[in-house]
């Protein structure tokens, strides 16, 4: 099943509000923007001036009191001036596009940085509610759409708006009567643009949301191709994809249709305006120079229509980009992971201390306790209920129980990936909510059931557990995890490049590297969540020997379905429906002949 895509926006933003917020990013390229604005003004002045030159040209052709030679000289001068204005507009247009390209690159770099940084600060609950594909959609679809807006659409928008203002001013200068008629006709344009903008704005927001759903579903299905083929669910997967792809098709069609009709409508309206101005202008304008005024005014009508048409043509990319930018700002406005902790961790050689806010030093021993803890991922559906348990320093605590009993949840709460609704969790007598999350998690070494390896060498992946670890530290950790042997037989040994989440290694080998990563961290508390679930029995025994050395003197939490791996635990905690129902060592629990006894004997019967 695909994860449900949830909107985490604090509130829906209007297209204008989103655009204004996007404009604030121009502060990161202020010198370039100033140069671009100057270029726009020069370009607009050149194009507006070129249209105005038509007035003296027409007046000159209608008749002049000047002599033939003077008329010819003035005509040549006007033609040269007109050519110069067109050349100036072409040069400034090129410079403007170059400047906006540089500026958009700077802004996109800043946006990507902010978005990626935000992803690091979002709570685990946010990431759980979104598929990887939908999260990647922010960095691909939405960022690219926004880049198109900044690089091209905004350039044309600024040119068109500036030229429109200049054109309106020149219309006022030429003829108030004709301008009054244009105002009435322009009202029709405003109504058309307003209606289509409202429709396309909604549609483009829906389009970006559905695009994220499609990306998320594809990413999930591609990563799960092995299971899809094993269970022969190709047809089911395809039918589900067709449904969400159909939603994307409909929203994209609606959005594109709404914006595409603007161009033809405005183009036809411009022809009507042009014809009406010709007919009415001939009747209204009389006297000397009337022809030049009318021709120049008609030029400005053409300019006005062209600029409005250019704006309408940009509506597709503008509305798409604004929808993408709105989604990006929605993520940036999401609440960060809350960290009100003040207690910090300090290392002295191989020893660790908690440093309280008042300077008090508390040695880190690894004493972890749950006091009447209530927790639920979804309100009204409790996972842990009035849970109390303890792990003394140096103890190996094993959690067993059926799926959904709350085993992994307990380790997530120790990490503070989630916060509890009631009760207290203490670490060496300190409420974990008082410890800074970075310091809390630095004290914990974790091996998860699902191992994630990064693109890079084997050595770099082991060093991920402790970035300042030396090569010797990493090799020693690999030997503890019994990974050194297979690493030594890889083509380039520790320098072998891993790719696609370690696809060139077996599942067992990836798990061994994860254990080596935990070993190199030298964390005083270890959490092993099905750490040996993906290795064979022989490898499991080798790992257990290494883990015994690794766990010496450390508090260890173990989650395992193989009960054979928890027999040597100091305490085995049996969970059922979020509650502790049994606690004791292996022999004690067998004597009780309770839930653990049933689980253990069933395992023996099945072996």
- For every residue of 9-21, which 3-state class applies, written as one string? CCCCCCHHHHHHH
CA angle 311, 316, 319 (to 5 degrees): 90
Does any domain span residue 352? no
pLDDT tens digit sequence for 9-57: 344 467 788 888 888 888 888 899 899 889 988 988 888 887 777 777 6
310 and 393 assigned to the same domain: no
CB under 8 Å, gap of 24 or more: what pairs does 332-336 form? 332/114, 332/115, 332/118, 333/9, 333/10, 334/8, 334/9, 334/10, 334/118, 334/122, 334/126, 335/123, 336/118, 336/121, 336/122, 336/123
Say how far residue 429 (Cα) sits from the centre of its chain: 38
Does any domain span residue 116? yes
State whether residue 584 is helix, strand or coil. Answer: strand
Which residue, among 142, 382, 389, 176, has the nearest Cα to 284 in the 3D structure? 176
Does any domain span residue 350? no
Does any domain span residue 192? yes
172 and 312 assigned to the same domain: yes
- The CA-atom distances, in angstroms, between 13 and each of 16, 148, 149, 212, 308 are 8, 20, 17, 19, 25
250 and 377 assigned to the same domain: no
Residue 412 · residue 418 · CB < 8 Å: yes
Does any domain span residue 340? no
CA angle 559, 561, 562 (to 5 degrees): 110
| CA separation for the pair 177, 194 (Å, rounded) | 26
Which residue, among 253, 272, 259, 274, has the nearest Cα to 192 in the 3D structure? 259
239 and 319 assigned to the same domain: yes
pLDDT tens digit sequence for 429-469: 999 999 999 899 888 888 877 778 888 899 999 998 888 88
Per-residue pLDDT at 6 exceeds 80: no
Which of 306, 332, 358 finishes a domain? 332
Does any domain span residue 337? no
pLDDT tens digit sequence for 223-246: 666 567 656 777 888 888 888 888
C-alpha torsion angle, residues 433, 438, 444, 449 (rounded to 10): 100
How many Cβ atoms from other residues are within 10 Å of residue 232's Cβ? 8
Does any domain span residue 5? no
| CA separation for the pair 344, 364 (Å, rounded) | 11
Q: Which two tokens mark 158?
A: 């600024």
Q: What percent of the chain has pLDDT over 70?
A: 81
498 and 569 assigned to the same domain: yes
Q: Residue 452 carries which DSSP code?
A: -
Residue 472 · residue 510 · CB < 8 Å: no
Helix axes 507-521, 537-551, angle to 10 degrees: 0
Q: Which two tokens mark 28?
A: 């990161």
pLDDT tens digit sequence for 90-131: 999 889 888 988 888 899 889 988 988 888 888 888 877 777
Residue 294 · residue 285 · CB < 8 Å: yes
Strands 497-498 and 456-457: antiparallel
Average pLDDT for the chain: 80
- CB neighbour class for 120 (10 Å; exposed up to 12, middle 13-18, buried from 19): exposed
How many residues comprise the chain? 607
Region 501-508: mean pLDDT is 79
Region 474-502: mean pLDDT is 87
Per-residue pLDDT at 271 exceeds 50: yes
413 and 470 assigned to the same domain: yes
Q: Which two tokens mark 312?
A: 């309408």
**Tell me, what CATH number does 214's domain have?**
1.20.1560.10
Q: Which two tokens mark 437?
A: 């999350």
Residue 311 · residue 304 · CB < 8 Å: no
Lowest mean pLDDT among 156-165, 203-212, 408-417, 538-547: 538-547
State whether residue 525 is helix, strand or coil. Answer: strand
Q: List alpha helices for 122-233, DSSP H.
A: 124-128, 132-137, 143-148, 154-174, 176-223, 225-230
What pLDDT was estimated at residue 87?
92
Per-residue pLDDT at 416 exceeds 80: yes
pLDDT confidence band for 549 (50 / 70 / 90): low
What pLDDT was estimated at residue 313?
66
Which of 277, 310, 332 finishes a domain? 332
Which residue, among 359, 349, 345, 360, has the nearest Cα to 432 in the 3D structure? 345
Tokens 């054979």 correspond to what residue? 564
| CA separation for the pair 421, 383 (Å, rounded) | 11
Does any domain span residue 387? yes
Q: What percent of the chain has pLDDT over 90?
A: 11
Give the count of domains, the chain: 2
pLDDT tens digit sequence for 341-362: 899 998 887 788 999 988 899 9
Per-residue pLDDT at 371 exceeds 90: yes
491 and 374 assigned to the same domain: yes
Q: Which two tokens mark 527?
A: 């959490």
Strands 571-576 and 555-559: unpaired
**Tell me, what CATH number does 575's domain have?**
3.40.50.300
85 and 191 assigned to the same domain: yes
| CA separation for the pair 97, 103 (Å, rounded) | 10
State pTM to two decimals.
0.68
189 and 66 assigned to the same domain: yes
| CA separation for the pair 476, 463 (Å, rounded) | 11
What pLDDT was estimated at residue 356?
92
Question: Listing from the earlier edge strand, what are the strands of the sheet with 384-391?
Answer: 384-391, 368-375, 422-427, 430-431
464 and 322 assigned to the same domain: no
Which of 313, 332, 351 finishes a domain? 332
Residue-range definition of the domain harbouring residue 124: 15-332
550 and 469 assigned to the same domain: yes
DSSP E strands, 276-434:
344-348, 351-355, 361-363, 368-375, 384-391, 396-401, 422-427, 430-431
182 and 42 assigned to the same domain: yes
């Amino acid at each position: 099943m695909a994860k449900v895509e949830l909107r985490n926006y604090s509130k829906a933003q209007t297209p204008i509000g989103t655009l204004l917020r996007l404009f604030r990013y121009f502060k990161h390229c202020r010198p370039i923007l100033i140069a671009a604005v100057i270029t726009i003004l020069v370009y607009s002045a050149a194009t507006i001036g070129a249209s105005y030159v038509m007035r003296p040209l027409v007046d000159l052709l209608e008749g002049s009191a000047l002599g033939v030679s003077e008329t010819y000289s003035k005509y040549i001068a006007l033609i040269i001036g007109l050519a110069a204005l067109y050349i100036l507009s072409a040069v400034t247009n090129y410079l403007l596009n170059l400047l906006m390209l540089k500026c958009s690159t700077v802004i996109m770099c800043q946006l990507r940085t902010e978005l990626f940084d935000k992803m690091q600060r979002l709570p685990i609950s946010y990431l759980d509610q979104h598929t990887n594909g939908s999260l990647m959609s922010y960095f691909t679809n939405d960022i690219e759409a926004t880049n198109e807006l900044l690089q091209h659409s905004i350039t044309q928008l600024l040119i068109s708006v500036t030229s429109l203002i200049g054109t309106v001013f020149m219309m006022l200068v030429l003829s108030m009567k004709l301008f009054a008629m244009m105002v009435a006709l322009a009202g029709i344009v405003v109504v058309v643009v307003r209606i289509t903008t409202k429709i396309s704005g909604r549609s483009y927001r829906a389009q970006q949301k559905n695009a994220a759903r499609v990306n998320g579903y594809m990413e999930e299905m591609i990563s799960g191709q092995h299971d899809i083929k094993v269970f022969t669910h190709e047809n089911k997967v395809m039918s589900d994809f067709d449904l969400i792809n159909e939603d994307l098709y409909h929203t994209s069609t609606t959005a594109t249709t709404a914006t595409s009709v603007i161009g033809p409508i405005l183009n036809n309206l411009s022809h009507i305006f042009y014809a009406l101005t010709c007919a009415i202008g001939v009747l209204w304008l009389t006297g000397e120079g009337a022809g030049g005024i009318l021709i120049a005014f008609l030029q400005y009508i053409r300019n006005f229509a062209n600029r409005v048409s250019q704006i309408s043509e940009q509506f597709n990319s503008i509305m798409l980009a604004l929808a993408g930018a709105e989604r990006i700002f929605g993520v940036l406005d999401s609440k960060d992971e809350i960290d009100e902790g003040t207690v910090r961790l300090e290392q002295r050689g191989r020893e660790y201390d908690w440093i309280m806010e008042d300077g008090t030093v508390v040695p880190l021993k690894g004493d972890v306790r749950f006091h009447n803890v209530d927790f639920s991922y979804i309100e009204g559906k409790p996972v842990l209920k009035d849970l109390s348990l303890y792990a003394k320093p140096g103890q190996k605590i094993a959690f067993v129980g059926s799926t959904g009993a709350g085993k992994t949840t307990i380790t997530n709460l120790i990490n503070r990936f989630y916060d509890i609704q009631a009760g207290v969790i203490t670490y060496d007598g300190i409420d974990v909510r008082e410890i800074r999350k970075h310091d809390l998690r630095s004290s914990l070494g974790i091996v998860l059931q699902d191992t994630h390896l990064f693109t890079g060498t084997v050595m770099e992946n082991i060093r991920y557990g402790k970035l300042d670890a030396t090569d010797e530290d990493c090799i020693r950790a690999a030997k503890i995890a019994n990974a050194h042997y297979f690493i030594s037989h890889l083509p380039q040994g520790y320098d072998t490049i891993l790719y696609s989440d370690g696809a060139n290694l077996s599942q067992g080998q990836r798990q061994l590297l994860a254990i080596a990563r935990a070993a190199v961290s030298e964390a005083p508390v270890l959490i092993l969540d099905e750490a040996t679930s993906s290795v064979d029995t022989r490898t499991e025994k080798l790992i257990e020997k290494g883990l015994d050395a690794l766990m010496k003197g450390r508090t260890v939490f173990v989650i395992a379905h193989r009960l054979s791996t928890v027999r040597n635990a100091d305490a085995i905690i049996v969970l059922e429906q979020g509650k502790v129902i049994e606690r004791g060592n292996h022999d004690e629990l067998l004597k009780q002949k309770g839930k653990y006894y049933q689980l253990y004997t069933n395992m023996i019967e099945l072996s």
